[in-house]
Chains A and B, each alone.
Chain A
Amino acid sequence: MLKIQKYVRAESLEEAYQELIKNRNNQIIGGMLWLKMEDRVIPSAIDLSKCQLDSIEENENEFKIGAMCTFYQLETHEALNQMCQGMIAKSVRDIVGVQFKNMATIGGSIYSRFGFSDILTALLCLDCDVVCYKKGQIALKEYIHEPYEKDILTHVIIHKRKMKAAFECVRRSSTDFSVLNAAGALIDHQLRICVGARPHKAEMIEIEEQCDLQDILKQVHEAMPCESNMRASKEYREHLRDVLVEKVVNELKGEKA
């Protein structure tokens, strides 16, 4: 069971950060959905809900998403989903239910970089940065390889690009974790393909638009191997991976699957 010894609602990011680094076990709490399932003691749980990180700001060039924004905010944001043909909405749609999505935060999800994450797979295909309080701004595709440092993820920035985008996943029951997920985007004649829940965390590769499916799959096999775990076998995942990547590519190139 999760035990919280002290609850701190920080008034500023500096206050939150100072509290965070006081003790190795201190934690930022986002939606707390993941944390709640852990069996641990948190000396100081730091709530960012007073730090004005709960809105999606849009300007000419980007969407700036505060870390405390919920999945449901992402799912229902019109302009954001218009840019990517609803691909972001699709990636979070089946995560448990509306009540859950009203709580799960983008900050907690991207900071955690879970292997099974649907939103991470989706965002990796876009032109996307992460902003951390100390580390500053860094491309998401680099951030996924960074160690888990004591820092506060404050924003996710999605740069506006003209694109086609697609997301596919397979779940054993409709709101269970993905057994495998895949996303793609076509930006500036470059294909970006991403496969997650392999069960390793998502990776993204960039491929020339002209490449045919066989070439694409060859590169996907090399960059994104599958493994077995309690949810599915390696062989099953490899099969799904090829089928989902084909679906995504067909959607991007406008061909019928």
Chain B
Amino acid sequence: MKISLTVNGRKIQEDIQESMLLIDFLRSHGYTSVKRGCETSNCGLCTVLMDDHPILSCSMLAARADGHSIVTLEGAGKEAEAFAEFMAKEGAEQCGFCSPGLIMNVIAMKKELKNPTKEEIKQYLSGNLCRCSGYMSQMRAIEKYLQEESV
């Protein structure tokens, strides 16, 4: 079937297999920041934004993204860079495999929540798993990033 969507501002039209998942579509177009970390919709590594809302690209048919706008880490530009700097300063990245998904969800959170409490941050990011860290360094990076950006 034919689909037409926007990825990181670029229009793509393609004939795809009906079963194709959005994650595989994106990776086949070179957006390899989008990772698969589980088979059960649980880890959040595959997070991308669809019309500004964070979703799991591993669990959505590419067909459903037809007519929508997708943003991956490759298209997140300055915002992603700014946050990545805070992550680096806090030593939050170990293997780094979970980072693209986390960064995309932090960007979504920042758009949606005004001055979130620590509890609200944890709630919003509860679907982003990391098997290396204990989340403490990420939490520090996120809090500092939000503080800095709000002044």
Given the interface pairs A7-B63, A36-B59, A97-B125, the reply to whether A45 lies near B18 with Cβ below 8 Å is: yes
B112-148 residues at the A interface, CB under 8 angstroms: 123-128
Cα distance A40–B39 in the bound complex, in angstroms: 15
What is the chain A residue whose CB lies nearest that of B122? A174
B120 to chain A, nearest CB (A): 11
What is the chain A residue whose CB lies nearest that of B1? A7
Residues of B close to A7: CB separation below 8 A: 1, 18, 61, 63
Say yes or no for A135: interface residue by CB 8 A criterion.
no
Residues of A close to B89: CB separation below 8 A: none
Give a binary string over A1-40; 1 marks a CB under 8 Å from any B CB, 0 the rest. 0111111010000000000000000000101110011000
**Among the listed B53, B64, B66, B128, which residue makes an inter-chain contact with A97, where contact means beta carbons less than 8 Å apart?**
B128
Residues of A close to B61: CB separation below 8 A: 4, 7, 29, 32, 45, 47
What is the chain A residue whose CB lies nearest that of B124? A98
Q: Which of A5, A9, A37, A100 has most chain B Cβ within 10 Å? A: A100
Residues of A close to B53: CB separation below 8 A: 102
Given the interface pairs A98-B108, A98-B127, A100-B127, the reply to whether A3 lies near B59 with Cβ below 8 Å is: no
What is the chain B residue whose CB lies nearest that of A93? B123
Residues of B close to A37: CB separation below 8 A: 39-41
Contact in complex: A174, B126 (CB < 8 Å):
yes
The total of interchain contacts (Cβ-Cβ below 8 angstroms) comes to 75
Contact in complex: A99, B54 (CB < 8 Å):
yes
Residues of B close to A9: CB separation below 8 A: 63, 66
What is the chain B residue whose CB lies nearest that of A41? B19
Given the interface pairs A33-B59, A175-B127, the reply to whether A99 lies near B1 with Cβ below 8 Å is: no
Residues of B close to A100: CB separation below 8 A: 41-42, 56, 59, 127
Say yes or no for B100: interface residue by CB 8 A criterion.
no
A212 to chain B, nearest CB (A): 35
Given the interface pairs A4-B18, A7-B1, the reply to whether A99 lies near B63 with Cβ below 8 Å is: no
Residues of A close to B42: CB separation below 8 A: 96, 100, 175
- Residue numbers of A with Cβ under 8 A of B are 2-7, 9, 29, 31-33, 36-37, 45, 47, 49, 93-94, 96-100, 102-103, 174-175
Q: Jot down 19 A-B pairs with beta carbons below 8 A, ordered by A.
A: A7-B63, A9-B63, A9-B66, A32-B60, A36-B59, A37-B39, A37-B40, A45-B18, A47-B61, A47-B63, A47-B64, A96-B126, A97-B44, A98-B125, A99-B105, A99-B127, A100-B127, A102-B54, A103-B59
